[in-house]
Amino acid sequence: MSENILTTSNIALNEQFNSKEEAVRYVGGLLHSQGYVDEAYIGQMLEREEVTSTYMGNFVAIPHGTEDGKKSVKETGITIVTVPEGVDFGGGNIVKLLIGIAGKGDEHLEVLSQIALVCSEEENIEKILQAESKEAILSIFEEVN
């Protein structure tokens, strides 16, 4: 994955959330605080969840903005948040790994394919959830390159 799209400052370990909305706001807040998006993008991420859940299975959700949200993206970036106790994304879908995405133009497609490669292996998800450091998570994503 290209440099600066994922860094240790974009990773948060062992977070806890009471709701899907709280989780998505947190992920969007990370994207915003790291300078990838305008604050408006957070609302567009919540809007996306209302249209269709970003839950992917295997305890993974990939919150991102609506198509309209692209104008709030300054540069492509992702955030990774682990939630060991899980957060309910509705319909009994428990999420323990949140991967927030902001993509400029079509760059998010490349980012999504990298994420798909990592998350298609249940053992990788398990490794990420058990990682004790942000560096350990970075190395899992770098191994896929």
Distance separating alpha carbons of residues 108 and 5, to the nearest angstrom: 11
Q: Which amino acid is at 70?
A: K
- Give me the pLDDT at residue 142, please: 82
Locate the domains of the chain by residue range.
8-143
Q: List residues with catalytic annotation.
A: 64
To the question of domain 8-143 being in CATH 3.40.930.10, the answer is yes
pTM of the full structure: 0.92
Average pLDDT per run of 10 along the chain, which is 145 residues long? 72 97 98 96 96 93 92 93 96 95 82 85 92 93 74
- Are 138 and 79 in contact by the 8 Å Cβ rule? The answer is no
- Give me the pLDDT at residue 108, please: 72
- Give me the pLDDT at residue 128, please: 95
- Give me the pLDDT at residue 2, please: 47
Closest by CA to 7, choosing from 41, 26, 23, 31, is: 31
* Vertex 131: Cα angle to 5 and 127 (nearest 5): 90
Using N-to-C axis directions, what is the helix angle for 122-130 and 107-119, rounded to 10°?
90
